[in-house]
Structure 1
Amino acid sequence: MLIRAYAKVNLFLKILNKRQDGFHNIESLMSPVNLFDLLKVQKSRQFRITCNDKTIPVDENNIISKTFALVQKKYNLKHLVDVCLYKNIPSGAGLGGGSSNAAAFLQILNEIFSLKMSFDEKVDIMSKVGSDTVFFLYNQPAFVRGRGEIVDKTAVLPSFYVLLVKPPVTISTSSVYSDKNLTLTPYNTVSNMHPVLNYTDVLDSVDNGLQNVVFKKYPETYLIKEKMLTLNADAALLSGSGATVFGIYSSKKYLNKAYDYFKIFNKSYFVYKTENINNVI
């Protein structure tokens, strides 16, 4: 069975406070974008993960392995699976590639083993696997809270173009959250937001409480953001904890111009032009 695992961007990300478990409470508006990994899964006599990206671990440290272990224990699976993972989403990018892989994998397990999981059962498993994995079960724009595992309500967004640019740096999420310069926003935003947003609403809401930390540690990300704005992006910001910076465009002409610039500017950059998607079928 073959399934797509879509990337996401954080249109806003506010860091509220640190929790007793060491995580931070956040509020975010997340949207899928049309960039995806592919997973092919079939029953097998041994558990195996293969991946086209050799930097991705294929042992018990892979989030797919962790997901399978939880499902196997809970549902007493009699077979193992062979997983072929084809990565298009860069790792360590703030685009949710690993979390999306886990959610897509869970959906496949539910099908090939006929587990008939309820949605709440899927949410329970995903919340044990990672912080933002639950979002990818919805696969549509949504406001999220908690450490990212609570989907507050789904949202409807206008269509717009997205330019993704990731420099060749790896950013530790934990180091960003533990930085002394982290900006906290101790008030509730999501509860006051209407679930249907127009383009002006989207542009007015863009923010990332992590980006000042990342911009200081990795100034190249800040320069990418500023260049996007000079290349007529309607907004530009860091996605998640980075290292991807994304620009929002209403004009395909300006999108293409910026894409061409970054493709030539640095051959080591990951550069991808796409669009947001409101509902993944």
Structure 2
Amino acid sequence: MLVFPNAKINIGLNIVEKRQDGFHNIESCFYPVGWSDALEILPAKEYGFQSDGIDIPGDASNNLCAKAYQMLAADYTFTPVNIHLLKAVPIGAGLGGGSSDAAFTIKALNDLFSLKISLEKQLEYARRLGSDCAFFIENKPLYCFEKGDRFEEISLTLAGKWIVLVNPGLHISTFEAYSGVKPRHSEVDLRALLKQPLSEWKQTVKNDFEESLFPKFSVLKKIKEKLYEKGAVYAAMSGSGSTLYGIFEEETDLSLIFKEYKIWQGYLK
């Protein structure tokens, strides 16, 4: 079975409060984008995991795909598999690439072996693996809250809009990103802001990480400014960085403008 775990962007990101467990409660809209890895899972005589493409740090046994497999194998009976991951989505880039790989592993195993795992159970498994893994189970625009693993439906569609994602290759640790923010409740509900026309988001829909990270990493601010300069209706950083994205009304090829960075561009669904 071959599947293509896709990335996501954050449209708006409010850091609401620090939790007693050390995590933070957030408010955001997660929106799927087409930048994808390739994940092949085939029945085998014994379990195996390999990856190609972007180098994944750490031991293979700690990969989220491997953890997803071991988690389901502990609860269900099915033959071993060989998992081959072709990694294309940048790691630690605010795009949820690793989380998507894990969620797609759960869904692929469920389909491959007809395990008949309910949606709620799949979400439960995904939440064990990481805060935003569960989003990729349904993989549709959702309003996210608490740790980013609780969801509500949101009537938002950007279908037909053109998006350009730019990743300058900076690694910003989660600790560093959160150390610069001051959690606070928003004065206006993000869901209300996202009902406004896209052209108004520039003034109202914010990512709280930008305030502290832009002064430290000037390249991030410059990329956002360049996206607006080239005609983006809305531009922002995704997650805690370091990927920036711009949403355009029409197809806009910026591959030469950002040729020194990793870039993905295409239509939103």
With normalisation by structure 2, the TM-score equals: 0.91
Report the Cα distance in structure 2 between the residues aligned to 1:158 and 1:54, rounded to whole angstroms: 29
Name the residue aligned to 2:264: 272
Report the alpha carbon displacement of residue 201 of structure 1 after superposing the two structures with TM: 6.1
Report the Cα distance in structure 1 between the residues aligned to 2:83 and 2:187, rounded to whole angstroms: 40
Bigger mean CA offset, 186-195 vs 18-27: 186-195
Aligned residue-pair number: 267
Bigger mean CA offset, 195-204 vs 159-168: 195-204
Q: Is the 8 A contact 1:26 1:145 kept in 2?
A: yes
Report the Cα distance in structure 2 between the residues aligned to 1:135 and 1:170, rounded to whole angstroms: 23
Name the residue aligned to 1:70: 71
Report the Cα distance in structure 2 between the residues aligned to 1:170 and 1:30, rounded to whole angstroms: 21
Shift in CA distance, 188/67, structure 1 to aligned 2, threshold 3 Å = farther
Give the ranges of 4+ consecutive aligned residues of structure 1 lying more than 6 Å apart after TM superposition: 194-197
Report the alpha carbon displacement of residue 74 of structure 1 after superposing the two structures with TM: 2.1
Q: Is the 8 A contact 2:9 2:32 kept in 1?
A: yes
**Over aligned residue pairs, what C-alpha RMSD do you find?**
2.1
Report the Cα distance in structure 2 between the residues aligned to 1:34 and 1:78, rounded to whole angstroms: 31
Q: SS state of the match for residue 21, structure 1?
A: coil
Structure 2 residue 8 is matched with structure 1 residue 8: yes
Q: SS state of the match for residue 46, structure 1?
A: coil
2:227 is aligned with what amino acid? M
Question: What aligned pairs does 1:151-166 form with structure 2 within 5 A after superposition?
Answer: 151-159=151-159, 160-166=161-167
Shift in CA distance, 135/146, structure 1 to aligned 2, threshold 3 Å = same
Q: SS state of the match for residue 56, structure 1?
A: coil
Report the Cα distance in structure 1 between the residues aligned to 2:114 and 2:226, rounded to whole angstroms: 50
Report the Cα distance in structure 1 between the residues aligned to 2:49 and 2:268, rounded to whole angstroms: 29
1:166 is aligned with what amino acid? N
Shift in CA distance, 80/198, structure 1 to aligned 2, threshold 3 Å = farther
> CA-to-partner distance for each residue in 1:6-34, whole Å, 9 max, x for gaps?
11111111100000111000010111112
With normalisation by structure 1, the TM-score equals: 0.87
2:114 is aligned with what amino acid? S
Question: What aligned pairs does 1:161-240 form with structure 2 within 5 A after superposition?
Answer: 161-177=162-178, 179=179, 181-187=180-186, 193=192, 198-200=197-199, 203=202, 205-240=204-239
Name the residue aligned to 1:244: 243
Gaps of 5+ in 2: none
Q: Is the 8 A contact 1:163 1:259 kept in 2?
A: no
> CA-to-partner distance for each residue in 1:194-253, whole Å, 9 max, x for gaps?
88665346555531011222223322111111122222222211100111111111132x
Shift in CA distance, 54/262, structure 1 to aligned 2, threshold 3 Å = closer
Q: SS state of the match for residue 90, structure 1?
A: coil
> CA-to-partner distance for each residue in 1:248-274, whole Å, 9 max, x for gaps?
11132xx22x333112xx2xx101211
What's the % identity of the aligned pairs? 32
Report the Cα distance in structure 2 between the residues aligned to 1:54 and 1:243, rounded to whole angstroms: 16
